[in-house]
Amino acid sequence: MYFSKKKLFICITKSNWGGAQKYVFDIASNTPRDQFDTTVLLGENGDLKKKLEDAGVKTILLKNSQRDVSLKKEISLLFELIKLFKEEKPNIIHLNSSKMGLVGALAGRISGIEKIIFTAHGWAFNEERNFISRFFIKILHILTIILSHKIISVSEKTKKQVGNIFASKIIVIRNGLRETELKNKDSAREILSEKIIKISPRANNLLSRKPLWIGTISELHNNKGLSYAIDAISKIKTSVIFLIIGEGEKRKELEEQITKLGLSNRIFLLGHIDYASSYLKALDIFVLSSITEALPYVLLEAGYASLPVIASKVGGIPEIIENEETGILVASKNSEEIKNSIEYLSKYTGEARSLGEKLKERISKSFSQKVMLERTFALYKNVI
C-alpha cells in the first residue's frame, strides 16, 4: 500500500531525562525518515534536547512549556502550539506527559490536525494528592482522551484505570528496550566508587570492606517513594551502601533525611549520570520503591543487566515482575518489606542470581523495542 511521507510532531512538556523522555527519544530517533518528517517539540533546554540533536532529530523549543502549573503559562502554551500547528501543518501530533496531552490535544483540534495521539505514561490522579485535586485531574485526563483520536497506554493497568468506556480508543503498546552496552562489574564499581568518595571521603573505609551494593536510578520526587527505601536501609545492620542515581526537586529533603538518620556514609545521592543504566552491573540488588508507576523503563534496564529486583506492586510493574519468579514485589510505602526483601536476597545469593537471570529472559522476550516501534509506526499509518 502506498504511504506518502507524513509530517510528525512529537511533543513533550520538559527536556529532562526521565522515562517519558527516553520514550520520545527512542521513537523520534528511530522513525523511518523516508516515511516521516519528524520534529520534537519540547520545553526547557535539557538532556533530551541535546540527545535528539546529536541523533540528527529536529527540535523546536517551546517558550511556555514547563512542569509547574500556571494558568497564564498554559494559555500561552495553547496559543503557541496553535500558531505552530497552523504554520507547520503536521499530519500527526504525538503528545506525551499530562499537561502537554491536554493542551496539545486542544490546540490540535482547534488547528484541524488529522491525527492526534496521546501516550499515557501514567495518570496524575494516582499521585499523592487530596481527593478534590485527584477528581479534577481525572476530569482533565478524560478531556485529553476525548480530544485525542487514539491513546497509547504503556501498560494494561494504565488502560484499565480509566474504565471500559474508552476501551476502543486505547491501545496497549508496552515500552520496549533495545540492547545496550553495559560496563562490567569491576569497571562500573571503580567509576562509581570515585563519585562516592568525592561526596564522602570517609566512605572509602566502608568500600574497602566490600559491602552489599544496592541502588536505583530515579528522579528525586515524591512519586518514587525514595524516603521509604532510605528508611529500609537504615534498618539493615549488615554492611550495605545504597546509591541513588538521578536528580530532582526533592534532593534537599532526601539529604536532610539521610543526615538525620546518620546514613551519610552509607547512602549517596550521585545526581545525574549520563547513560546511568550502563553502570547497573555495579549493583548487587536493584530497588524501585515507587508509589505510582505505569511501566518504568528503569526496570527493563535492570532486568537487562540481570539484576535481582525489589519493586513496589503498583501500576504496570506486576506486568514486568512476577513475584518470586522474576523479582520480588512489595507493598508501596512499606520500608519493612523492602528491608526484609534486601536481607533475603543478600542471604540467598543463588536465588537472587536466578531471579535476575529469569527477569532478563522475560525482558528479552516480551519487552522488545523493535515491537514497540513497529506497533507505534503502524498506528501512525492507520494499520492498527
Q: What is the pLDDT of residues 303-360, one digit of tens each?
A: 999 999 999 999 999 999 999 999 999 999 999 999 999 999 999 999 999 999 999 9
Confidence class of residue 384 from pLDDT cuts 50, 70 and 90?
Answer: very low
* Per-residue cell: 72: 497564564
Grid coordinates belonging to 301: 534496564
- Please check whether residue 28 is in contact with residue 40, taking contact to mean a CB–CB distance below 8 angstroms: yes
Residue 301 in this model has a pLDDT that exceeds 80: yes
Q: How far is CA 10 from the centre of its chain?
A: 17
The fold of 185-366 is Rossmann fold (3.40.50)
Classify the C-alpha dihedral 221-222-228-234 as positive or negative. Answer: positive
pLDDT value of residue 382:
82
Asked whether 139 and 114 are in contact (CB, 8 A), the reply is no
Of all residues in the chain, what percent carry a pLDDT higher than 70? 98
> Residue 113's pLDDT is what?
97
Which residue's C-alpha cell is 532486568?
303
- Give the gyration radius of the chain's Cα atoms: 21
pLDDT tens digit sequence for 216-240: 999 999 999 999 999 999 999 999 9
Q: Percentage of residues in the chain with pLDDT exceeding 90? A: 87
pLDDT for 190: 97
Categorise residue 355: left if φ over 0, alpha if ψ from -120 to 50, beta otherwise: alpha
Q: Which three cell numbers stand for residue 223?
A: 512519586
Please state at what angle helix 98-111 crosses helix 71-88, rounded to 10 degrees: 50
The pLDDT tens digits of the residues spanning 249-261 come to 999 999 999 999 9
Average pLDDT, the chain: 94
Residue 361 has pLDDT above 50, yes or no: yes
Per DSSP bridges, beta strands 170-172 and 92-96 are: unpaired
pLDDT bucket at 164, cuts 50 / 70 / 90 = confident
Q: How confident is the model at residue 296 (pLDDT cuts 50, 70, 90)?
A: very high
Q: Are 69 and 81 in contact (CB under 8 A)?
A: no
Phi, psi of 236 (to 5 degrees): -90, 125
Check residue 2 and give its pLDDT.
46
Cα gap 253→51, rounded to integer Å:
30
Residue intervals of the chain classified under CATH 3.40.50.2000 are 6-176+368-380, 185-366
Residue 246 bridge partners (DSSP): 271
pLDDT attached to residue 128 = 82
CATH topology of domain 6-176+368-380: Rossmann fold (3.40.50)
- Whether 3 shows a pLDDT value over 60: the answer reads no
- Quote the cell numbers at residue 55: 541523533
* Mean pLDDT, range 281-285, rounded to an integer: 98
pLDDT of residue 104: 98
Task: Return the H-helix or E-strand segment holding 160.
Answer: helix 156-160
Cβ 82 vs Cβ 110: under 8 Å: yes
Task: Report the pLDDT value the prediction gives residue 1, as an integer from 0 to 100.
Answer: 43
